[in-house]
A and B are shown apart, each in its own frame.
Chain A
Amino acid sequence: MSNHLNRRDFMKMSGAAVVGGAAAVTGCATAGGGATATGSIGVKAALPGAKGPRLVIVGGGTSGLTIAKYAKKEYPKFDVVLVEKRDMYSSCFSSNLWYAGLVNLEFLADHSFLDAARNNHYIYFNATVTGLDRTSRTLATSEGDISYDFLVIAPGISYDYGRIGVKDPEAIDALRTIYPGGFISPTEHVTIRRKVQEMEGGVFVQTVPSGNYRCLPAPYERACMIASHIKKHRIKGKVLVLDANPEITIKKDGFHAAFDELYKGIVEYKPGSAITGVDLGNKMLKTEFDSYHFDDAAIYPGVRASTLIEHLGLADPKSPQKEALISQLKYNVIGDERVYVTGDSRPHPYSKSANTANSEGKYVAKVLAARAQGRDINWYSPRTVCYSMVNAEPAEAISVDAGYILDKTGQAIGGFSPDTKLFEKRDAAKGKGTLEWARGMYREMFEA
């Protein structure tokens, strides 16, 4: 059971990146600017002396962990330092499965940064980045300055509440706290898990943003997981999916089948329903033509590159999601082959998903290893292998396996590769596959 994604499907992800290719020629205000490392606390970080070219990686998510491991494998002379602000890992991927009890928190979080560093011969440095001076090649952190030969910044995403018409900081804070999106930090997942377990009835709203948001199928998958919980426990409630897009953005046949066949009367799907405002007092979400009452919600606002990218002066001013201005083929900041941006802050129209970040990370590790030795490598596509659980009783899933090709310029991503396949007929085998996919990712990032 497979069919192919077409160009229209691809364009759903590429809206944010249309200008990315052109940006390479228009140049960038910040490139080569010699900014000062504001944010330095004025001391050097307490690190062992570099034993080779120092590769500093910011961000211990899928991208950063993959690059830390594989850059060292590709070029053992690299002295790799992973700067991560969290002191405890918990994955964003697979967190939806927790809401239906298919996995527990241990599944998501029983993975140590220390073990990853030890097994793969790099340093895990628990600090927050506060500044960057590209002239002196210095990264400022909350624990002191670090000199680098090569720097990879993989800080993930930040939420953009402006995209749902919310600009007041108090309202943003309330939304963030009471109705978290659940696509960035583990504490959001814990809150959503509690919401699901405490559900006694009423309308739970799951919103789906426009643009190239993190993990296209995840809001629909989450709707299925919560609906599965509602069904199992015979709760008099429903999940209302308010989708900013005109149609389910990926694996639509598989999700529609699940909504219709498994969750009739439990999941209500409303396409073309971009949120334009929120009335927290009355628990109302506004769209262009309607308003919807909710009893509880996971409000996924717009997505943008991590604010860190902007703070460090690396954002493309033309990018609607404030993504980094980098070479789409080599990931370096335009005009600076020492600094790279990867993962979900990249401007590529790739799926912002763990498998893509992992696959891409291995490629970027090869780019870095080659460049550290004065060479270069040819571009090749990452893969997006992405499972979505659509049923929890029993566990059944659908999936997609996508690659990408370059456009006519050869400098930017142009579409899905011809070998892209969709597997939209849900079954238990893919349900098991979903779990093993995640275990494999953990092994990949934390084991040797």
Chain B
Amino acid sequence: MDRRKFVKLCAGGAAMLAAGLRAAQAKDFTDFPRVRLTDAAGAPLKAAALTGEQAYVFHYPFRSLPCFLIDLGKAAAGPQNMKAEWGEYAWPGGAGPGKNLVAYVAVCSHQLSYPDKDGSEIRYAAGKSALAGKSGMIVCCAHDSVFDPAAGANRLHGEAEYPLAAVRIEHDAADDGLYATGLAGVELAERFFRVHKRRLIVEYGPGVYREPVGEVAPAIPFDKYTASASNC
């Protein structure tokens, strides 16, 4: 997929193209269609219903791109300046009334490990993980990288050099609902599709894996989403 087709796919239309190019210059998040997060049954997900014990997996803004929604159980201050491989951006901090809700693309920035139905090397460890030596970290056991979800998923340890790509989420105070609205790291999604293309075609079908996720995105508890999690 070339860049033009990719950006078109992201949203279509001139405004979105401009946003995509702005992201390519790495100044900001790229806007994507606002998508409501739901539970597994399709009912709107309420922030109050989240537990901080594990991450929730949803796909956004494309059908195959896995993301973690995490209730940190504490406020995550923002904005914070982040430096990724593709440039710099301002991570807005936690969303929700307690600024405790964050979301990231669940694809390791190192060698692109991601959760699938069979297993996951990357996980949010609410409790203390042996690798990180502290609680509340995202760890990827494929090559032992640690990211801090309370700080824009900044890399703390390991072979990864850069943070995880960030998903912008929005909390609707009126109904306690949650929405995903944008992504910092379109380049990572592009790389994810390229690198995992063969697997994604098998799992989703040719072309399907990169289609927009649609109106809603179910957020599934991590332990229900994947059969086996890493434990480093």
CB distance from A171 to the nearest CB of B (A): 41
A444 to B108, CA, bound (A): 12
| Contact across chains for B121 and A436 when beta carbons are under 8 A apart | yes
The 3 residue pairs across chains A and B that have the minimum distance between CB atoms: A440-B111, A429-B231, A447-B195
Q: How large is the interface on B (under 10, 10 to 19, 20 to 34, 35 or more residues)?
A: 20 to 34
A249 to B210, CA, bound (A): 47
Task: Indicate with 1 or 0, residue by residue over A138-151, a CB within 8 angstroms of chain B CB atoms.
Answer: 00000000000000
Residues of B within 8 A of A432 (CB): 118-119, 121, 228, 230
* Chain A CB within 8 A of B75 CB: no
Contact with B191, one of A429, A433, A441, A448 (Cβ below 8 angstroms): A448
CB distance from B37 to the nearest CB of A (A): 27
* Chain B CB within 8 A of A259 CB: no
**B contact patch SS:** loop
Query: Besides A421-B131, A432-B118, 14 other CB < 8 A contacts?
Result: A359-B159, A383-B143, A383-B144, A385-B144, A399-B232, A419-B157, A429-B229, A429-B231, A430-B232, A437-B143, A440-B111, A440-B113, A441-B111, A443-B195
| Contact across chains for A443 and B111 when beta carbons are under 8 A apart | yes
A53 to B1, CA, bound (A): 30
Residues of A within 8 A of B144 (CB): 383, 385, 401
Residues of B within 8 A of A399 (CB): 232
Interface members, chain B 212-232 (any A CB < 8 Å): 228-232
Q: How large is the interface on A (under 10, 10 to 19, 20 to 34, 35 or more residues)?
A: 20 to 34
Interface members, chain B 89-123 (any A CB < 8 Å): 108, 110-113, 118-119, 121
CB distance from A367 to the nearest CB of B (A): 16
Name B161's closest neighbour in chain A (CB-CB).
A362
Task: Indicate with 1 or 0, residue by residue over A418-429, a CB within 8 angstroms of chain B CB atoms.
Answer: 010101000111
| Contact across chains for A428 and B191 when beta carbons are under 8 A apart | no
Residues of B within 8 A of A436 (CB): 113, 119, 121, 141-142
* Chain B CB within 8 A of A187 CB: no
CB distance from B16 to the nearest CB of A (A): 24
Interface members, chain B 113-156 (any A CB < 8 Å): 113, 118-119, 121, 130-131, 141-144
| Contact across chains for B142 and A448 when beta carbons are under 8 A apart | no
